[in-house]
């Protein structure tokens, strides 16, 4: 609010004017300074009925009356008394003083923290530390503090990564910082695994889009599986028998004098899904064990089917195979034998002895079976199964799967305990094929009429680890 002369009206009329005191002062100057919240009007002395100073002794007015000078000051208690001064100098001083006297405004901006949604890296020595960048959308004149911690998903603290719970400071004037998490690097085949880095709080900043969490995926590029040597171990000798052949898988690679491969993807008569390969990703030897690995390749499955046909063939004996088995819906591992005359006689006339079969959806039960018949139309089979406690699976540790094969019949054993037998009359009127040499087959099938097919619960890769194959006669 303010007062001014009416330049167009009669002298003394009150007119509305600008309430900005600085505009009034710029126009008219000021001679006296009021106290807080007051307005001062300096009026000339009235002499002779006229306003305006008179020239001493001549009785006449020297000049017309100067306009009323009014200054209104609001919330400026610290302004000193001002004396007349040039307008420019006065205004400069006024700006300085008013700046000093106003309540201080917060000059700091509040930046947004931008955090990655996902980081994926291979588990290698070169990537043993994962970096999670934190970026501000703009720097500020204050330090930014960010609190964070790691949390488990499928990756486990201490086993797959080193947990952290800490804070970091983004110094004033900068806009970036990083969180570092150390990864536990190993050589073992695992599923890709995930953990979270969570921003639990911050000072002097907000979270862009509310994003306070990054998911880190440890992509596994290893070829080895973590196994222990625990489990059952069979005898190294038996009374009245001699070890005539074994493969202990200690050579560091697959012994091609003992094993060759079945290759292809024709379903093998069981409507299986896998493509059998001789690739090292599907079969290899490591640390004294043969590994057969079934993989999900995205558009198809791969696995290995190893056989000793034409290389190692046997008629009768005690046969021990120590192995860890895979599990999961649609997974079908087998340790079995076919008659060496298979190329000429065909199946089932050649005979089939299944030392061990497992259906992955029942991972604590194994089966022993014989198949026979003069031809396809007369195929028949018989067999039995055994189970370990339901709280355990055959993928937990090693077990020994055995047959005791004699001219009079076949007995199946699990960890030296018999669970099923047949005699040489088992085939009835059909030819008895189990008095001929047989060769070994080791494989993992994916899908098929008996096990069914993989579903969302089936984890890949799946492996069978074989410690040894031994034949005593």
Please give the chain's pLDDT, 473 residues, in tens: 543 434 444 344 444 444 444 443 344 444 444 444 434 444 444 444 444 444 344 444 444 444 444 444 344 444 444 455 555 555 555 445 444 444 444 466 899 999 877 888 888 777 789 999 999 999 999 999 999 999 999 999 998 999 999 999 999 999 999 999 999 987 666 668 899 999 999 999 999 888 889 999 988 766 567 788 899 999 999 999 999 999 999 998 999 999 999 999 867 778 999 999 999 999 999 989 999 999 999 999 999 999 999 999 999 999 999 999 999 999 999 999 999 999 999 999 999 999 999 999 999 999 999 999 999 999 999 999 999 999 999 999 999 999 999 999 999 999 999 999 999 999 999 999 999 999 999 999 999 999 999 999 999 999 999 999 999 99
Alpha carbon distance 285, 305 (integer Å): 14
Q: Domain with 173 in it: what CATH number?
A: 2.60.40.2030
349 and 389 belong to one structural domain: yes
Whether 229 is in a domain gets the answer no
Whether 433 is in a domain gets the answer yes
For the four alpha carbons of 10, 11, 13 and 17, in that order, the dihedral sign comes to positive
141 and 77 belong to one structural domain: no
185 and 270 belong to one structural domain: no
93 and 127 belong to one structural domain: no
State the total domains in the chain: 3
Beta bridge partners of 179: 132
Alpha carbon distance 472, 453 (integer Å): 37
Length of the chain: 473
267 and 377 belong to one structural domain: yes
303 and 396 belong to one structural domain: yes
97 and 119 belong to one structural domain: no
pLDDT at 267: 72
For the four alpha carbons of 423, 424, 426 and 432, in that order, the dihedral sign comes to positive
pLDDT at 63: 44
404 and 300 belong to one structural domain: yes
354 and 466 belong to one structural domain: yes
Q: Label each residue of 240-298 as H, E or C.
A: CCCEEEEECCCCCCCCCCCCEEECECCHHHCCCCEEECCCCCCEEEECCEEEEEEEECC
Whether 224 is in a domain gets the answer no
**Do 227 and 178 contact (CB within 8 A), yes or no?**
no
Boundary-marking domain end, from 58, 81, 101: 101
Please tell me the pTM assigned to this model: 0.60
pLDDT at 228: 81
The residues annotated as belonging to the active site are 352, 357
Give residue 276's domain range: 243-472
97 and 128 belong to one structural domain: no
Whether 1 is in a domain gets the answer no
**Do 204 and 108 contact (CB within 8 A), yes or no?**
yes
27 and 127 belong to one structural domain: no
Boundary-marking domain end, from 78, 101, 124: 101
Whether 95 is in a domain gets the answer yes
Boundary-marking domain end, from 101, 133, 166: 101
């Amino acid at each position: 609010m303010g007062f001014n002369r009416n330049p167009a009206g009669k002298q003394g009329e009150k007119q509305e004017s600008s309430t900005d005191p600085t505009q009034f002062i710029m126009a008219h100057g000021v001679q006296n300074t009021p106290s807080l919240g007051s307005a001062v009007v300096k009026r000339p002395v009235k002499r002779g009925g006229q306003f305006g100073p008179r020239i001493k002794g001549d009785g006449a007015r020297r000049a017309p009356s100067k306009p009323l000078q009014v200054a209104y000051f609001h919330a400026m208690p610290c302004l000193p008394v001002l004396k007349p001064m040039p307008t420019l100098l006065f205004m400069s001083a006024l700006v300085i003083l008013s700046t000093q006297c106003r309540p201080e405004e917060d000059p700091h901006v509040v930046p947004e923290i931008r955090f990655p949604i996902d980081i994926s890296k291979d588990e290698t020595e070169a990537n043993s530390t994962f970096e999670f960048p934190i970026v501000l959308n703009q720097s500020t004149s204050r330090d930014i503090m960010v609190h964070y911690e790691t949390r488990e998903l499928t990756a486990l603290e201490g086993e797959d990564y080193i947990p952290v719970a800490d804070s970091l400071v983004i110094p004033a004037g900068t806009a970036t910082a990083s969180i570092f998490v150390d990864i536990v690097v190993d050589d073992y085949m695992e599923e890709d695994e995930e953990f979270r880095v969570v921003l639990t709080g911050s000072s002097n900043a907000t979270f862009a889009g509310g994003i306070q969490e990054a998911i880190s995926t440890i992509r596994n590029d290893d070829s080895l599986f973590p196994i222990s040597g625990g489990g059952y171990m069979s005898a190294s000798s038996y009374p009245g028998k001699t070890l005539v052949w074994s493969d202990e898988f200690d050579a560091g690679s697959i012994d091609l004098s003992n094993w060759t491969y079945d290759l292809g993807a024709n379903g093998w008569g069981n409507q299986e899904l896998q493509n059998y390969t001789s690739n090292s990703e599907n079969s290899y030897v490591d640390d004294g064990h043969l590994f057969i690995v079934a993989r999900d390749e995205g558009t198809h499955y791969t696995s290995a089917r190893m056989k000793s046909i034409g290389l190692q063939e046997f008629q009768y004996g005690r046969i021990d195979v120590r192995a860890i088995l895979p599990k999961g819906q649609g997974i079908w591992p087998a340790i079995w034998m076919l008659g060496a005359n298979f190329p000429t006689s065909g199946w089932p006339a050649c005979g089939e002895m299944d030392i061990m079969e497992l259906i992955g959806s029942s991972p604590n039960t194994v089966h022993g079976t014989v198949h026979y018949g003069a031809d396809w139309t007369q195929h028949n089979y018989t067999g039995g199964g055994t189970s370990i406690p339901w709280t355990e699976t055959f993928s937990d540790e090693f077990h020994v799967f055995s047959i005791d094969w004699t001219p009079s019949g076949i007995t199946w054993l699990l960890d030296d305990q018999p669970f099923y037998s047949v005699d040489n009359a088992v085939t009835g009127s059909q030819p008895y094929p189990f008095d001929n040499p047989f060769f070994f087959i080791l494989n993992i099938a994916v899908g098929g009429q008996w096990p069914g097919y993989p579903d969302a619960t089936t984890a890949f890769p799946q492996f069978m680890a074989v410690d040894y194959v031994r034949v005593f006669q």
